[in-house]
Amino acid sequence: MRNVFNLSSGIYYLRMSGLIFAGFAPLQIIWRTKARETRQAPLVSRALARRSLENAQIEVICVMFLITRKSEIMKIAVAQINVHIGNFEGNLNIMLEAVASAKSQGADIICFPELAVCGYPSRDFLEFNDFIRQSEETVKKLAAAAQGIAIVVGSPTRNPKIEGKDLFNSAYFLADGAILHVQHKALLPTYDVFDEYRYFEPATEFKVLEYKGKRIALSICEDIWNLGNENPLYTVCPMDEMMPQRPDLILNISASPFSFEHASERIHVIQANVQRYGIPMFYVNHCGAHTELIFDGGSVIMSPNGKVYDEMPYFEECLRVYDFDEVLRGEREVRQSATKMDTIHDALVVGLRDYFHKLGLREAILGLSGGIDSAVTAVLAVRALGASNVRVLLLPSQFSSDHSINDARDLAENLGIQYDIVPLQSIYESYMEMLSPHFLGKPFNVTEENIQARIRGMLLMAFSNKFGSILLNTSNKSEMAVGYGTLYGDMCGGLSVLGDVYKTEIFELAHYINKDGLVIPENTISKPPSAELRPGQKDSDSLPPYDILDPILFQYIEKRQGPEEIIAQGFDAALVRRILRLVNINEFKRHQTAPVLRVSSKAFGVGRRMPIVGKYLS
């Protein structure tokens, strides 16, 4: 069997007739395998620019030195951008500006993220013909701009076959004013926050394209994620299908949402691909937020030797141009350094800012109790929206301590935000007077506590409506998990800022906020948590300490461990069963709350779908 291999660049080493020849490419080698068992072995290691044939079990028939002009250095621009779902004109303008910048820096190709034309996730907008039509028109306008530079961009495309889903999730390669190539996504995630198979048909054809002397494998997000994990979800790896076509590089366009462990997972998966295929990868991700989903950017350029040639900034738009040959050599390694609290803090700020700005909103309001949850929420709101756009209400009752009121006032003054004190005791007493004939003989219980919470909710919503401010919910993940909150009271709000942050993490976040100087009063952080709805109340009256509660919740929610597995870790059996029961029976509350900014691998909301009416563990 004869084989032909073209080597367009680099240094070659060749053994023929017992002698070793060395030189510079280009050359063409025609060979025949000596043994059946070595026929499928790779002739050349693509992991290195230095190519070695010394140990290959082949019989060389002919070596042809090709006379070609010296190939030009290719430059590839990676543009992590913040687009807006369905804002076709705005998204186009962002990309055209990036194209102009990349072109001025000599880039041959610019890469934009997955579905950047329409925004990700577009969800059921994808079911509207008009939405797809506008996506197509935007691609045509981008193609017209692809003069002197090629553009790689994600957009939905129509499936020409009547069988299967109506759409593909596609990567366009635009050049010379036209569509040069389209590669569809093969691996469609349908887990956690992803629901792509609801809309898209998986690809069954995989073709490498050639541009300016380089053979390019286009792939889309999940297409590279079947490697580097213990439980592959798919039976095919798209790059396995492309490798016989001998690509020189991988361009992967992604929409990969943030969780605080995801950046390291992302690099691990990219390394697994680079090590398997021996070619560099240019991976581009979105940044910005779309309701609960936050995208951290962190685009990665990885050399064939597995080194991170560059990791782009987290949570900010960025465009960088890379010399392909330098990436191929892999003589540097650049990674972002960020702690868990760095990324959670920045993610929440971005989530808040984009929720408001993309909805055309400006001002936020929240209740400031003197407790740590509302304090952290207020700080994040100021950092996202500016002090002039944040207003707080102090809503003391007869059960509020003086230090809580003082702590709330001190924080508001530290932040330079407007605060109003609206006592609710007289309103509460009016309720009690009206209800006393009906509650005759019944002792004080959670009913009276919830009335206070709902009065606060009513007052906050009144200010929200009157002044056009959006109410921020301040509940944390621990409280939401076990139902320690009042529907239509402290669970009110248009956006849940801390609903994916456990209480123990809230304390870490407060210390992080104070790392460069006192912002949150120390007493707010050090005092025992309390809802202050009855005399002397503490959270620990109803719940176990948070340093015990949170690890149990983490094992159940994030790790999906059942009661026996959690108990085996050393937790009290009765406590575990009680906590898991509380989580399950309070699902109805979470179905009625605001969208939760997602910062973990399993947040309440679209990524965790549990039945309200279910017997399991309840």
Query: Three-state DSSP class for 99?
Result: helix
Which among 148, 137, 153 is positioned nearest to 102, based on CA atoms?
148
Give CA 208 to chain center in angstroms: 28
Calculate helix-pair angle for 446-467, 425-435, nearest 10 degrees.
130
Give CA 448 to chain center in angstroms: 41
Alpha carbon distance 121, 188 (integer Å): 13
Q: Which two tokens stand for residue 479?
A: 């409280």
Contacts of 123 by beta carbon, 8 Å cutoff, 6+ apart? 195
Catalytic residue among 75, 103, 111, 185: 185
Is 333 an annotated catalytic residue?
Answer: no
Query: Token pair 């139902």 is at which residue?
Result: 483
By the 8 A CB rule, do 155 and 174 touch? no
Catalytic residue among 75, 103, 111, 114: 114
Which among 105, 101, 106, 196 is positioned nearest to 154, based on CA atoms?
196
**3-state SS string over 461-500?**
HHHHHHHCCEEEECCCHHHHHHCCCCCCCCCCCCEECCCC
- Within a 10 A sphere around the Cβ of 585, how many other Cβ atoms? 15
Which among 122, 115, 112 is positioned nearest to 86, based on CA atoms?
122
- Within a 10 A sphere around the Cβ of 518, how many other Cβ atoms? 10
Alpha carbon distance 131, 124 (integer Å): 10
Alpha carbon distance 114, 130 (integer Å): 20
- Within a 10 A sphere around the Cβ of 149, how many other Cβ atoms? 21
At CB < 8 A and 24+ separation, what contacts does 235-238 make? 236/186, 236/187, 238/186, 238/187, 238/203, 238/206
By the 8 A CB rule, do 556 and 583 touch? yes
Alpha carbon distance 354, 361 (integer Å): 10
Alpha carbon distance 77, 147 (integer Å): 15
Q: Which two tokens stand for residue 362?
A: 């400006």
Q: Is 547 exposed, middle or buried (0-12, 13-18, 19+ CB in 10 A)?
A: exposed
Whole-Å CA distances, 542 to 373, 400, 502: 18, 18, 17
Alpha carbon distance 561, 554 (integer Å): 9
Strand order in the sheet with 58-64: 2-7, 27-33, 58-64
Torsion angle defined by CA atoms of residues 19, 25, 28 and 34, in that order, rounded to the nearest 10 degrees: 40
Query: Three-state DSSP class for 156?
Result: strand
Catalytic residue among 75, 118, 214, 221: 221
Q: Which two tokens stand for residue 487?
A: 């529907």
Is 221 an annotated catalytic residue?
Answer: yes
Beta bridge partners, 421, equal 394
Which residues have a catalytic role annotated?
A: 114, 185, 221
